[in-house]
Chains A and B, each alone.
Chain A
Amino acid sequence: MTPPTQAAQPSSLSPRPALWKRLLDSRFTPPVFITLILLIGNLSFGILESYQKTLLAIATAMVAEMMLGKIFTGKWPHPASAYITGISVGILLRSPAFWPYALCAALSIASKYTLRVRGRHIFNPSNFGICAMLFLASESVAGLSIQWGNNLASLIVIWVLGALILWRAKRFQITATYVISFFLLALLRAHITGDPWQSEVSPITGPEYQLFMFFMITDPRTTLKSWKGQCVVAVAIAVVEMLLRLDQSVYAPLYALFVVGPPALLIEMYLDARRKRRIATVQALRPEMAQ
């Protein structure tokens, strides 16, 4: 996951914003937020099997990012993105062994530098890494499923804070669209399966979704540029997730993002390129027409 950064940085000529606004706008805000979730969760509920595994994932992600960034771009990359990738792996992946944490973090970062189209990575890094591990190493790993508190207060705090940060980052519409879609489709699923509607709504009240909604699907590097496109993709993810859920896929949201995210980006790139070609053609024709 890459932090949902502010789209436009404040001009140096603008009045200096309040401290809380600067903190919220900072690129460090998402890492601080996710670290707080981790610390509060672990200190109050013991959500982690051990700090060492999470630290291993973070360290691996950051080292891989620094090395690959320097080698392939010539610059030292900002550590925030790799930090969030590592910490997400540390929270979302569950394994009694250490090696899956290191491997998943390394795979996540490596995907940024391998699976690229026109200079842009097309998978959300931690989504790619975790899905790869769940596909390929299911005997050794599981996803975060029930390891979290189930009380309403912590849920509300995380949702409010997450929504606030996303609002400031101008990405709230993605999460809001997804949540509304999820709820509507949960009712549809309940109608189809005959299961209690509460059981279909239940997953979104759990921990996996808090990270998924606030960090994964809002990743600026792997989401579309247009507001409308972002909302369409959020709906598409929810629809694919519903289909996967009807097939009883435990990790439906993660797989849905894995399936929907890259094609959406590729379509956007194709449309962008076509638009640029048209503009170029029009601009090329204009002098001729003027003559």
Chain B
Amino acid sequence: MKRGPVAHIVLWIAFLAMLATPAVMRYLAAKKASAQTSDAGCQSALSRYGFCFTEVSQQAGIHFVHDPPLLDAKLSGIMPEIASMGASVSIVDFDRDGWPDIYVTNSRIGSKNHLYRNNHDGTFTDVAAQLGIADVNQPGTGVSMGAVWGDYDNDGYEDLFLIKWGKPMLFHNDHGHGFTDVTAQAGLPPWINANAATWLDYDGDGKLDLFVAGYYPETVNLWHLENTRMMPNSFEYANNGGRKYLFHNLGNGHFEEVSEKVGIKSRRWALACAAADLRGTGYPDLFVANDYGVSELYLNNHGHFIEAGAQTGVGFAPKSGMNTAFGDIFNQGKYSIYVSNISEEGVLIQGNNLWVPQDGKTLHYENLARDLGVELGGWSFGAQFGDLNNDGTLDLYLENGYISLSKTKSYWYDFSKVAGGNSSIISDAAHWPAFDGRSLSGYQQKKVWINDGAGKFIDVAQAVGVTDRNDGRSVALADLWNTGALDAVVANQGGPLLIYKNETAPGNDWIEFNLAGTKSNASAIGAQVTLYWNGQQQVQAVTGGSGFASENDRRVHFGLGKHPQLQKAVIHWPSGAVQTLDSLTPNQCIHVKEPA
């Protein structure tokens, strides 16, 4: 070391400054977060952010608490981890009275699912037992993991597909007066361990088809395990999960399984899926978010799928995909895709993905989650896009929190100890240390990110009243009381069903569209509404399930901001028909029937 003391002093100062840099970065981030998320009450939230949530489940007469699965005793040591899913919520107007109803799943053998009928007065009444879709978790049939609704027989009433670890079930909606179990006639397989499914008309024949994505292999009965080698064989590249199913609707109440025939063949561990026409081909593409691996994007070429995850950029870096939601966040007429993953301070920072389509001839996505501020959401699960403050840009609601048990003891050390090991070790549940009441990313703050319209999302969850710390799984957005504001319904694992009623500040207008197909499927799933106003456009799709184990209100909701100049709405129906609506008036729900 030849240099004199001055050079050494300068070097030491620089060295110490570098050591201090993380503390400075942390201070600045905390200061910014504190300014954004302080809870200053509803009035403050209304004036600052234009909306405010109030949790009203008890007032609404909903006292539902989810029962998690209780599986084979061989899994008792890590039961909290294996039994960590099953809470789900889907929105459906099952009786076509123009008011959204709520269906929630339960996941203990013998527990009941609930269908909350909207009483139009701020309250709900559970009618599931009366209508025949409550007692669906009977011994020997597995338990519910989610539900998606779609009118498979085009009679105008939404039918129910029940996603299960066990026997999948299809219920026909008998004109809102009851449900008939039509599983046997439909030709569904006897057992699927799935957490994700979506309705879509993949071949454009006007009849809804059904995609079901397996998680555990379908040969595994989690209540009667032959052995404990049922875990993923990798935490990044697992390929020993459940198979995928595409049930082609034959139109007579029967379905034909065609997944391999149309190019879908995967044994990744799927946790979420959704379909939308991402390329303007008129056919819905299919996005699958996989746990323990990369996401898959199946591009639909006239009814035949090509997996293009790696080619389009969304399927290269493996993470823990737990959500699929589409949103035109820049008002450019293009969908971005939000996939949730895991982030735990100091242990594992995967970061969530916001896949934004890039300009160019071929479809290619770039992950802009960090740039836009929606990357870190803890152990994230369900998320949905929706304009929560009606300012004309889509916001993002994210649920999170994995296992909340002890407030002082964490399972993270043991999790990381095993998860990085060889496949022969991690794939056997018997090799995993027992939970012993410890938490794993528990008691997490939820995220409600509002879109500032200038390329940034800001978390305002605490400020707008989303303050629960439950183990959130599924979130669905719906204008529950037809007020022109999107409310949020949240299903928590082993926790209460929460209803966050949304109050928006006066001034921002809105418009909703309720579509009914004629040549297309009656649910209008796959239809796209592009709204043009104030020189901008926003596209939204009618989906047959999105997020994590959830389904939003069938009606599409647009916030418009102040004094909007509405130009037109263009509807692309799944049949290929294009319909343009002029002379639109804000602050109403417009019912649109597909031209014959």
Contact = CB atoms under 8 A, between A and B. Distances in A.
A196 interface: yes
A147 B236 contact: yes
A287 interface: no
Contacts of B25: 99, 137, 140
A152 B7 contact: no
A145 B2 contact: no
A111 B2 CA distance: 17
Bin the interface of chain B by size: 35 or more
A46 B433 contact: no
A196 B25 CA distance: 40
Interface of B: 1-3, 7, 11-12, 14-15, 18-19, 21-23, 25-26, 29, 233-237, 294, 316-318, 343-349, 351, 369-370, 375-376, 410, 412-414, 416-426, 428, 430-434
A68 B15 CA distance: 12
Given A113-B11, A136-B19, A150-B234, A142 B431 contact: no
A272 interface: no
A107 interface: yes
Given A72-B7, A136-B22, A145 B237 contact: no
A139 B11 contact: no
Contact of A139 (B21, B345, B413): B345
A111 B15 contact: yes
A239 to B, nearest CB: 18
Nearest to B318: A46
Contact of B317 (A49, A138, A139, A142): A49
Nearest to A196: B431
A219 interface: no
A74 to B, nearest CB: 5
B431 A110 contact: no
A136 B432 CA distance: 30
A147 B293 CA distance: 10
14 contacts: A49-B317, A72-B11, A94-B348, A96-B369, A110-B15, A132-B19, A133-B22, A136-B19, A138-B346, A149-B237, A155-B422, A200-B417, A203-B417, A206-B421
A99 B171 CA distance: 53
Contact of A72 (B1, B21, B421): B1
Contacts of A207: 420
Contact of A250 (B1, B316, B412, B422): B412
B1 A113 contact: yes
A45 to B, nearest CB: 6
A114 interface: yes
B422 A103 contact: no
Contacts of A140: 22, 25-26, 349
B11 A205 contact: no
B349 A96 contact: yes
Nearest to A248: B413
A154 to B, nearest CB: 10
Nearest to A133: B22
A3 to B, nearest CB: 22
A134 B3 contact: no
A80 interface: no
Contact of A116 (B1, B14, B236, B428): B1
